[in-house]
Amino acid sequence: MPISDAKVLTGRQKPMTEVAMLFAEVTTEHGLVGLGFSYSKRAGGPAQFAHAREVAPVLVGEDPNDIARLWTKLVWAGASVGRSGAATQAIAALDNALWDLKGKRAGLSLSKLLGAHHDSVRCYNTSGGFLHTPIGGVLDNATRSIEAGLGGIKIKVGQPDGALDLARVKALREHVGDDFPIMVDANQQWDRATAIRMGRALEEFDLVWIEEPLDAYDAVGHADLAARLDTPIASGEMLTSVREHKELIDARSVDIVQPDAPRIGGITQFMRLLALADEAGLDLAPHFAMELHVHLASTYPRQPWVEHFEWLEPLFNERIQIADGRMIVPSAAGIGLTLSDRVTGWTVADDLVTE
């Protein structure tokens, strides 16, 4: 079924029908294999694939332990297309594969390799709250999520008619009760004046956060909104570099930072960003890709949230365990994922670099 959020209802995007996945395997001379991935929604998958194919050969013959140096080498291999966007999203698949390999060589999960603060992390569901789903279906999805052990529910807002948004949030709050955590996501579709009005109207529902109320790059607008509302402001999923996130952090634009490791260049860059966010006293709620982010969020000193999307589950043989509102951090070495037979059959190209 095509997926719709506020960007669709405002005419800026078409309903989403697919997620393009980029997988990378890095093999050592001793036969160990690291698996990494990146992704793109709606458009950009072929661009990521093409760029990764061009720059990957610079890894041949290198020591896979030197991940930070290799990330820089990959960036310079494609320097003419920049250090953000599709270029770094392509590099992310290779970077993640190197970290998976390092974990396997050490016999440690990615969480333990990086240094864990938590063995489990709070989790919330998003996939059941899109705007194409009637409110009755949203409430049914919320019930199923709670019964499955999830600890929060996020629904989409940002419709042209704000009254419809408020009615949906009111119905959800009444359905789950006063104490259950709920969040809303406007997907960048409000202007500054609308965000203030809607933010004030939403205060009564005691939300955990309001996500992407404004354009993702509007640091000034987000900072003003965060200062004027009691409800915390969250954003960052659309940003594609640490530098872009740093602009929001420096401006005090958000209370909760929402990086996406595949979008900002992989685990190497994600960990750089976590240090900046921690220093600024921000909370953390990574976007999408829970199979990867459950590890990364576990390394954050504060209690993070991880977004539950079941969309990628058919790609892997493993499943993340959930109990009492929390995701259990996997203990298998590396990222702890193996590709399912189904996705192996979908592979477009293999053995791009063999010498």
Point out the residues that are catalytic.
Answer: 156, 287
The torsion of the CA quartet 203, 205, 206, 210, rounded to 10 degrees, works out to -70
Q: Which pLDDT tens digit goes with each residue over 158-213?
A: 999 999 999 999 999 999 999 999 999 999 999 999 999 999 999 999 999 999 99
Q: Which pLDDT tens digit goes with each residue over 124-172?
A: 999 888 888 899 999 999 999 999 999 999 999 999 999 999 999 999 9
Q: What is the mean pLDDT of residues 296-306?
A: 97
Q: Which long-range contacts (CB under 8 A, 24 or more apart) does 71-80 make?
A: 71/95, 71/265, 71/266, 71/268, 71/269, 78/51, 78/54
What are the structural domains, with CATH classification, of the chain? 19-107 (3.30.390.10), 112-328 (3.20.20.120)
Give the chain's mean pLDDT: 92
User: Which one-letter amino acid corresponds to residue 274?
Assistant: L
Q: Which pLDDT tens digit goes with each residue over 62-98?
A: 999 999 999 999 999 888 887 888 899 999 999 999 9
Q: Which pLDDT tens digit goes with each residue over 325-335?
A: 999 999 999 99
pLDDT at 1: 66
What are the phi and psi torsion angles at 304 (to 5°)? -90, 170
pTM above 0.75, yes or no: yes
pLDDT higher than threshold 70 for residue 261: yes
Q: What is the mean pLDDT of residues 247-268?
A: 96
User: Which one-letter amino acid corresponds to residue 73?
Assistant: K
Q: Which residues are annotated as a binding site for Mg(2+)?
A: 185, 211, 237
pLDDT at 81: 83
Rounded CA gap, 318 and 108, in Å? 17
pLDDT at 89: 93
Q: Which residues are annotated as a binding site for substrate?
A: 5-7, 41-42, 154, 187, 307
Q: What is the mean pLDDT of residues 246-254?
A: 96
pLDDT at 35: 96
pLDDT at 83: 82
Q: Which residues are annotated as a binding site?
A: 5-7, 41-42, 154, 185, 187, 211, 237, 307
pLDDT at 16: 62
Rounded CA gap, 121 and 325, in Å? 8
Q: What is the mean pLDDT of residues 238-253?
A: 95
